[in-house]
Amino acid sequence: MCTIAVYSIKGGVGKTATAVNLAALAALSGEKALLIDLDPQASSTFYLKVKPKIKTTVKKLLKGKSLVEDSIKATSLVHLDIFPATFAFRETEQILVNMKKPENRIMHILEQVKDSYKWIFIDCPPGISLLSTSIFNATDILLLPVVPTTLSVRTHEDLMKYLEDHPLRKKSKALAFFSMVDRRKNLQKIILEEWAETQSGFCEAVIPYLSDVERMGQFRKPVVEFRPGSDASKAFENLWAEIKKAALEMSSRKK
């Protein structure tokens, strides 16, 4: 099992579209994948045509008093399941504050399903919090979308400084990639050409700002499902290829 958390401190960077499409690509290759939607906005849940509802409370789930598998639902893709988000997930932070060892709660939840899936993707809510810390501790690859704009770049730099002081668990890694790229904008071109040259830990694949990605809300499907072969789909396929390669290398080092 490999756990990939798609995370950003700020919203509006293409996080959910990335999580949904990568999970779909894993499933389309015939490998069992689970997408865990932890964002109260439940956008991943919406995109995959699943009701934002679980068969327990957030508190019982985090305390291990209910099984995560009881709330997992199938999607229209044969090998892809989802643990849907609900608006009640907005209470997660307050619940974690009052729990012992909150940083290990997501890890304990994933332990329940580790033998059922090859890939687990987490669509994370934005922001630094106890929940994000708990996600980091359960993650093999922390995948970080960065829009080539001044604010997004600044946020990424702040996150990298944070991770220096609060390292990921041993043998885990952070991978960044450029998201929502519009090369027609001069500022984005400058950042891609100049700032990116000084950075490490970035994937070569970039996700362009294209209408097909926005149309996911219209079709309620991953773009790799309703527009296979499109530029947007190819971009996600390139990103997925790099992530799989990184996961394989990490797995080899663990043995």
pLDDT at residue 45 tops 70: yes
Q: Which pLDDT band holds residue 20 (cuts at 50, 70, 90)?
A: very high
Spell out the CATH class of 2-254: alpha beta
Task: Give the N- to C-terminal CA distance of the chain in Å, as an integer.
Answer: 14
Taking each helix axis from N to C terminus, what angle separates 231-254 and 15-28, rounded to the nearest 10 degrees? 70
pLDDT digits (tens, 9 = 90+) for 224-242: 999 999 999 999 999 999 9
Residue 255 has pLDDT above 70, yes or no: no
Is the pLDDT confidence value at 142 over 80?
yes
Pick the most confident of 17-26, 59-68, 108-117, 241-250. 17-26
Quote the pTM value.
0.95
| Average pLDDT for 188-206 | 86
**Mean of pLDDT values over 217-227:** 96
Task: Report pLDDT for 199.
Answer: 75
Q: Tokens in use for 49?
A: 């045509």
Residue 24 has pLDDT above 90, yes or no: yes
Secondary structure in 3-state letters for the chain: CEEEEECCCCCCCCHHHHHHHHHHHHHHCCCCEEEEECCCCCHHHHHCCCCCCCCCCHHHHHHCCCCHHHHCEECCCCCEEEECCCHHHHHHHHHHHCCCCHHHHHHHHHHCCCCCCCEEEEECCCCCCHHHHHHHCCCCEEEEEECCCHHHHHHHHHHHHHHHHCCCCCCCEEEEEEEEECCCCHHHHHHHHHHHHHCCCEEEEEEECCHHHHCHHHHCCCHHHHCCCCHHHHHHHHHHHHHHHHHHHHHHHHC
What's the average model confidence in pLDDT over 206-232? 96
Let me know the angle formed at the C-alpha of 122 by 118 and 123, rounded to the nearest 5 degrees.
Answer: 145
Residue 251 has a pLDDT of: 79
- Give me the mean pLDDT over the 145-170 stretch: 93
Buried b (16+ CB within 10 A) or exposed e, 143-181: bbbbbbbeebbebbeebeeeeeeeeeeeebebbbbbbbb
Share of the chain above pLDDT 70, in %: 99
Asked if residue 106 has pLDDT above 70, the reply is yes
Over 90: is that where the pLDDT of 158 sits? yes
What is the per-residue pLDDT for 254? 64
Domain boundaries, the chain: 2-254
Check whether 182 has a pLDDT greater than 90: yes
pLDDT of residue 56: 86
* CA quadruple 64, 67, 71, 77: dihedral sign: positive
Question: pLDDT tens across 118-141, in order?
Answer: 999 999 999 999 999 999 999 999
Q: To the nearest whole number, what is the mean pLDDT of the chain? A: 93
Residue 59 has phi, psi (to 5 degrees) of: -60, -45
- Average pLDDT on 34-45 reads 96
Strand order, beta sheet including 202-208: 73-74, 80-83, 33-37, 119-123, 2-6, 141-146, 173-181, 202-208
Q: What is the pLDDT of residue 137?
A: 95
State the residue for tokens 């499409």: 21
Q: Looking up tokens 């504050």, which residue turns up?
A: 97
In whole angstroms, give the CA distance from residue 196 to residue 225: 31
Structure tokens at 190: 């400058």
